[in-house]
Amino acid sequence: MTELKNVELELSRFRARLLFAGAMVLVCFGLIFARLAYLQVIRYDELSTRAENNRIAVVPIVPNRGLILDRNGVVLANNYSAYTLELTPSKIDDLDATIDELAQVVQISSYDRRRFKRLMDESKSFESLPIRTRLSDEEVARFSVQRYRFTGVDIKARLFRNYPLGEVGAHVIGYIGRINQAEKEKIDESEDAANYRGTDYIGKLGIEQSYERELHGITGFEEVETSAGGRAVRRLRSSPATPGNTVMLSIDIKLQALVEQLYGARRGALVAIDPKSGEVLAFVSKPTFDPNLFVEGIDVENWRSLNESPDKPLLNRALRGTYPPGSTFKPFMAIAALNSGKRGPNEAVLDNGIFMFGNHRFRSHGDGGLGMVDMHRSIVKSSNVYYYSLANEMGVDLMYSQLAPFGFGQITGIDIDGEVRGVLPSTEWKRKAYKKPEQQRWYAGETISLGIGQGYNNFTMLQVSHALATLASGGERHVPHLVREIRDVVTHERRPVGSEPVEPLDLKPEHVDVIKRAMYAVTQEGTSTRVFLGAKYQSGGKTGTAQAVGIRQNEKYNASKMAEYLRDHSLYVAFAPVDDPKIALAVIVENAGFGAQAAAPIARRVLDYWLTGTYPSEEDIIATQRGETGAPVGAPRVASEVPLPLPVAAVPSAGGTALPVSNPDPAASSPATPVPASQVAPVSTPPEAVR
């Protein structure tokens, strides 16, 4: 039989399939239109911004770092521009092969390769990174001819930091270095993150670190239209960078250089302060170092030489070196006695050469002693017995309460980082300093040696000079500061940097007069008479000799039989003029013996420079370096006519001519004592870097 088709049923099925297919098409188109509406309407702003960002690259413009000047306008830190060979890793397929080929055109050392690898680890792949810095003109020419062979390789002009005077004032000025990972994370979390885009360097030490915000400037930007391959097509708009401000120090760099020269190969520190303002006039730590070595990464040999030297040139002794003050502490003990009423100026003590406390013998001036000694004579002749007995009468806690306001054992608040507190002992201090109960207890015998600046007493020369400035000014106090003013490079406004007013100490003028007259007598009939012969001003001073190590009761000190690093330190404190002090200083020469032999001659020449404008003769400088002078010898020179000493090293260069950098601060274009370009010695790039 023949089967007949059900046409109606098949048409019905066909229509159903057609409707289903049509519905599915409509649903698909609906989804497409919905997605289109979502992208074009709801996410329009976001996607439009993304597209614009893909088309436009924002390139940061790093600002010129601000200058650092001394109080007379001498440039202590500036910038110069030099050519660098840079690679963009994201544009290079085989990086190692490219570097090998480049090495056939331009010299690339193993140090350069290691530094580049380190920079890659710390940077984003699309950033341009230097493989060679400070290219010579010949190297630039050689690469320019071969440039077509190297995709992603280019020559750029970058700014480099320079310290024209080399080692002079290095601990004050500090240096900059590449931003490390910890610093980068700290910047990213700060409000200055945007301002450091494109910045590779940051202040690491001294003024460079403490005044980083002033010196850095404000980063600019360029908006550049790019092709699909990331190549710049045209510049759309730009905002120029604002150079960093100029920082003017209170330091007189010629005085700083003179003191460093007077030390010679010896170790020590000197801090000179203006008692009327708290301005630091000289801030010396010897030995010093060349900060130019650190800018691009110091080589292993130089780092080992600095870091492993027993002289510790990297230690800022003026800020972080603590020493027993020795007999320079006695004037402060005397003012404490007067303030507390423990002893009057006319009360006398028998100095027979020893002070017995129980069975312990505290030594003084040999077996003979000084006889009857009042306060004036105790300072002039530096009686130990007088101050042993005074310390015993006062007790450690009264001494602490009287002397802490002068700044001993306290942070002075000077405007560079890293200051240490030192130790002005008290019973509370000892309880906190030691863990064992028997060590925490204060013994009466420990108080005796504190009176002559020994025992637990340990202070920085910054603290001692600050305390002396307070005493010499009759109790007037200022926070010491190294920066005198900030100069805005845009508005040319000069903003003075002064310390916050500090409540003066309540010192009676008649008490201060007793101490100042005694310290003046030290220079006329006391321990520093020979040093201040012929001075054209009246100064007050006090010598000090501080033990580096203790010696037994039955032993006698003999420097010739001791290793140099175990010998006594030589100290001196001074202020002048006596009636109206304009300078107060503290100086220590490590392991150099009596205060009048090594420290006092340096102080005399500082006072001569500051008050009379005289500079010692070459003959005198050499003799002072050897510790063989008292009063100056030879014909003194006019300080303003003596040039600054030549730097050990200055603008590093590979032999080519560096690109000139315009001075962003017109006021700094004519320093008081400029350094001639002919005196700038080139330094080659170090072979290896140490971080």
Catalytic residues: 327
**Rounded CA separation 374/380 (Å):** 10
Contact 192, 215 (CB under 8 A): no
Q: Which of 64, 62, 207 lies closest to 665 in space, CA to CA?
A: 64
**459/434 Cα distance (integer angstroms):** 19
In the DSSP assignment, the letter for residue 590 is T
- Kindly report the three-state secondary structure assignment for every residue of 352-393: CCEEEECCEEEECCCCCCCEEECHHHHHHCCCHHHHHHHHHH
Compute the distance between CA of residue 466 and CA of residue 412 in angstroms, rounded to an integer. 8
Asked if 511 contacts 530 with a C-beta cutoff of 8 angstroms, the reply is no
Cα–Cα distance measured from residue 296 to residue 112, given in angstroms and rounded to the nearest whole number:
11
Closest CA to 279 of 7, 469, 131, 101: 469
CB-CB contact of 574 with 603 (8 Å):
yes
Helix (H), strand (E), coil (C) string for 89-108 = HHHCCCHHHHHHHHCCCCCC
**CA distance linking residue 662 with residue 658, whole number of Å:** 12
CA-based R_g, the chain, Å: 35
> Max CA-CA distance within the chain?
156
d(CA 103, CA 94) in angstroms, rounded, equals 14
In whole angstroms, give the CA distance from residue 76 to residue 87.
32
Positions of E strands within 547-618: 569-576, 583-589, 614-615
Residue type, 532: F
CB 484 within 8 A of CB 71: yes
